[in-house]
């Protein structure tokens, strides 16, 4: 009997000790997460963050945003606020990040949304295209009026049918819209004129040209290519924009540079570099247009989902948890912004200051002085690093 008591008492002590160890371990995990959050907050490469660390439903707050697109004509950033079943619009000018407007509400009626994901802007037809995932359709909204226009698609595997679609991109060369039909493991091509069905490519598998739960898509118009994240195959595939035929692939499962663990959103920057949200590795990765790894951008324990590039300002935006973070021009990847007189208003403040300083010096120096003989390009380089 005493043995049983001792044994029971020993078991209780061990249980308490294990419980205390588990509590300490959890406390250490929380401390590490807070340290990672602080590191991200202090990351000088981040120009601004939109939303709050905790999810919310008020204007300007987000709940698991999973889609992004820049409106270059209006200096706006559109965000699929997925768990809030709406799209929010934010400014992205010098005082960027402020809430502008919102569209949509939860439901399955025309103009209502249920877990919106991919989003694209079609300037030629003045419309916003939204992938309405759980309603298995694509919605079209007026860009200028931000009002509902039409929707196409319903659940299924036939023509103009979808199963939990996610990504979307616009093929300007061939006047087509490409929808990533994730659960059907295929890409669906629609006419950008009337959103009518054209054809599909892809089937489930792991061979070249086959897909297993594709999610993100981007188009390299300069090279006439489709870039698609083949998520469960942990790779990115590059296809011909003309007929969708397989060109090459890169990546494999893993956590080393150039490897993926569930790649999701992706985009193309002004240099043709491919930027991929490597979700379960908690990072963005950049690659050459040939698929060679360049560098990675880590930011703690958060999972990146969507990523977008601002052609005018050279900004890279990505969603993570309940926020959107914006990497400043030339802060991670060199050459995302190159100054020209016609682009001065979009330049980062550091470049604007360098130009102002250079202009001021030019205006006060004597034309015969040595300073006046220095080319403008060299002066700009000098003052950019001051």
Q: Scanning the structure block, which residue is given the tokens 């594709």?
A: 214
Instruction: For residue 90, give its domain range.
Output: 46-327
Whether 372 is covered by a domain: the verdict is yes
**Residues 108 and 153: beta-carbon distance below 8 Å:** no
pLDDT on residue 252? 97
Whether 267 is covered by a domain: the verdict is yes
> Around Cβ 329, how many Cβ atoms within 10 Å?
24
Distances (CA, A) of 144 to 75, 149, 322: 13, 12, 27
What CATH number is attached to the domain comprising 89?
2.120.10.30
pTM over 0.75: yes
Q: Are residues 94 and 176 in the same domain?
A: yes
User: Domain tally for the chain?
Assistant: 2
Q: Are residues 315 and 364 in the same domain?
A: no
Whether 39 is covered by a domain: the verdict is no
Q: Are residues 71 and 128 in the same domain?
A: yes
The predicted-structure confidence for 189-235, as pLDDT tens digits, reads as follows 999 999 999 999 999 999 999 999 999 999 999 999 999 999 999 99
Whether 342 is covered by a domain: the verdict is no
Q: Are residues 371 and 314 in the same domain?
A: no
**Residues 221 and 228: beta-carbon distance below 8 Å:** no
pLDDT of 314 > 80? The answer is yes
pLDDT of 16 > 50? The answer is no
Q: Which helix (H) or strand (E) segment is 22 a member of?
A: helix 2-42
> Counting Cβ atoms within 10 Å, is residue 369 exposed (0-12), middle (13-18) or buried (19+)?
exposed
Whether 232 is covered by a domain: the verdict is yes
Q: What's the average model confidence in pLDDT over 281-302?
A: 94
Q: Are residues 360 and 249 in the same domain?
A: no
**342: three-class secondary structure by DSSP:** helix
Distance from C-alpha of 141 to C-alpha of 129, rounded to nearest angstrom: 6
Distance from C-alpha of 61 to C-alpha of 59, rounded to nearest angstrom: 6
pLDDT on residue 376? 61
Q: Are residues 354 and 300 in the same domain?
A: no
Distance from C-alpha of 204 to C-alpha of 234, rounded to nearest angstrom: 14
Q: Are residues 207 and 167 in the same domain?
A: yes
Whether 278 is covered by a domain: the verdict is yes
Q: Are residues 128 and 277 in the same domain?
A: yes
pLDDT on residue 95? 65
Q: How confident is the model at residue 36 (pLDDT cuts 50, 70, 90)?
A: low
Q: What's the average model confidence in pLDDT over 143-171?
A: 96
The predicted-structure confidence for 48-75, as pLDDT tens digits, reads as follows 999 999 999 999 999 999 999 999 888 8
Distance from C-alpha of 238 to C-alpha of 245, rounded to nearest angstrom: 9
pLDDT on residue 249? 98
What is the four-CA torsion angle of 54, 46, 234, 188, rounded to 10 degrees? 80
Mean pLDDT of the chain: 86
**Residues 225 and 214: beta-carbon distance below 8 Å:** no
Q: What's the average model confidence in pLDDT over 159-164?
A: 96
pLDDT: which is higher, 167 or 44 = 167
Q: How confident is the model at residue 375 (pLDDT cuts 50, 70, 90)?
A: low
pLDDT: which is higher, 238 or 331 = 238
Q: Are residues 365 and 293 in the same domain?
A: no
Whether 174 is covered by a domain: the verdict is yes
Whether 8 is covered by a domain: the verdict is no
pLDDT of 7 > 60? The answer is no
Distance from C-alpha of 280 to C-alpha of 301, rounded to nearest angstrom: 9
**Residues 202 and 185: beta-carbon distance below 8 Å:** yes
Q: Which of 25-39, 51-65, 83-97 has the lowest mean pLDDT?
A: 25-39
């Amino acid at each position: 009997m005493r043995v049983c008591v001792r044994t029971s008492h020993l078991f209780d002590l061990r249980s308490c000790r294990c419980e205390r160890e588990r509590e300490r371990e959890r406390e250490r995990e929380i401390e590490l997460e807070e340290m990672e959050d602080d590191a991200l907050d202090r990351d000088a490469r981040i120009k601004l963050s939109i939303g709050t660390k905790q999810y919310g439903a008020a204007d300007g707050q987000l709940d698991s945003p999973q889609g992004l697109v820049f409106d270059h004509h209006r200096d706006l950033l559109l965000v699929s606020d997925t768990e809030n079943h709406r799209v929010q619009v934010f400014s992205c000018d010098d005082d960027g990040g402020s809430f502008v407007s919102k569209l949509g509400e939860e439901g399955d009626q025309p103009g209502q949304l249920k877990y919106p994901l991919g989003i694209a802007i079609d300037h030629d037809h003045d419309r916003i295209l939204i992938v309405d995932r759980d309603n298995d359709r694509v919605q079209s909204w007026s860009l200028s009026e931000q009002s509902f226009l039409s929707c196409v698609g319903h659940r299924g595997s036939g023509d103009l049918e979808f199963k939990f679609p996610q990504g979307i991109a616009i093929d300007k060369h061939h006047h087509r819209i490409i929808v990533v039909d994730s659960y059907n493991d295929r890409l669906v091509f629609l006419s950008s004129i009337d959103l009518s069905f054209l054809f599909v490519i892809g089937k489930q598998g792991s061979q070249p040209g086959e897909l297993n739960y594709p999610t993100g898509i981007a188009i390299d118009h300069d090279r006439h290519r489709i870039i698609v994240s083949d998520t469960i195959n942990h790779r990115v595939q590059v296809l011909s924009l003309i007929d969708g035929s397989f060109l090459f692939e890169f990546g494999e499962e893993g956590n080393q540079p150039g490897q993926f663990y569930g790649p999701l959103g992706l985009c193309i920057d002004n240099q043709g570099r491919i930027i991929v949200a490597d979700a379960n590795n908690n990072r963005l990765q950049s690659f050459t247009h040939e698929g060679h790894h360049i560098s990675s951008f880590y930011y703690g324990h958060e999972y990146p989902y969507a990523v977008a590039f601002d052609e005018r300002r050279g900004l890279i935006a990505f969603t993570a948890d309940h926020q959107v973070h914006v990497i400043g021009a030339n802060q991670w990847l060199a050459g995302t912004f190159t100054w020209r007189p016609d682009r001065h208003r979009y330049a980062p403040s550091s470049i604007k200051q360098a130009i102002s300083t250079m202009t001021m010096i030019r205006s006060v120096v004597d034309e015969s002085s040595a300073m006046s003989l220095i080319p403008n390009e060299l002066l700009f380089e000098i003052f950019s690093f001051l």
